[in-house]
Structure 1
Amino acid sequence: MKIAICPGSFDPITKGHLNIIERSAKLFDAVIVLVLVNPNKKPTFSAAERVDFIRKACEHIPNVKVDSYHGLLADYAYRVGACTIIKGLRAVTDFEYEFQQALVNKQLNPELETMFVITDSSYMYLSSSMVRQVAGFGGDVSEFLPESICEEIVKRLAQGQEKE
């Protein structure tokens, strides 16, 4: 069985992320969408919330599983028997960082390959931070988020602004 991992912070998952996941699911027997917990970042949503959002957004894709992990991606990949890490690229600026990560993961787990998937052109500008910012100021983000989770995310981001 060919298992791939789509790792990220997904804070929150966007239609751009979902596009990469859907396309990857056509290429592999199983795709694990992995919420990586980075102690250097302060996410808006907890890891459990992000996992829940991804499960709802991906429920139409039968070979997708969702998990979270606090540790090295290369170790997780070895533990679950994954052969490939899938990274979405929006622009050339994404490539340098992702290339460096791919080389480190290959060093840590020589059997692990990284596959770069170019995002659909309609999502090249889209990022989770942009969604958070627009929604935080009351802007319409329905075009950026999967329909199944849009209302819940907008509600939560609006609550965060009310506290300030």
Structure 2
Amino acid sequence: MRLEAIIGDLTTQEVDAVVNAANSSLLGGGGVDGAIHRAAGPGLLAECRALRGAALPDGLGVGQAVATGAGELAARWVIHAVGPNAHAGQKDPALLASCFTESLRVAEEIGASSVAFPAVSGGVYGWAMRDVARIAVEAVRGSGSRVELVRFVLLDPDAHAEFAALV
């Protein structure tokens, strides 16, 4: 597995799957979630509503992941992962690590060989970027996944520096 850390826009990545730092409703929100939903177009929201109406009536749990199509994105799939919210007391590193390992598990299930991740929980969910980077890279490296490329896509140079130091 090759790991990369870049400064860029997650919504424009030409990879098999992009990971959405989703909320449990899967119905869009702010930050990465809002950007992905806006860029993907209405088809993504329709798929998420269908999931909520059938397989996930109560939403997606923290640390879990599920895939949908990617709508108008360059990627083929969006893997939605719900990160822990430190402001809500969700400070267990295992929950954060699960976002990355579960996303890779789902990537393998759908046949994705390249995946782009944001810094899940590193924004409004209040986790320190240094901790997010360490937990993410350790989880990905220890996952045993057959995904060939994992790209961490960061908007902020400081966030990029934390990830780049570890990959």
TM-score over 0.5 (shorter chain): no
Structure with greater proportional helix content: 1
Q: Which structure has the greater CA radius of gyration?
A: 1
Query: What TM-score, normalized by structure 1, do the two folds share?
Result: 0.38
- Higher relative CO (CA 8 A, sep ≥ 6), structure 1 or 2? 2
Calculate the TM-score normalised by the size of structure 2: 0.38
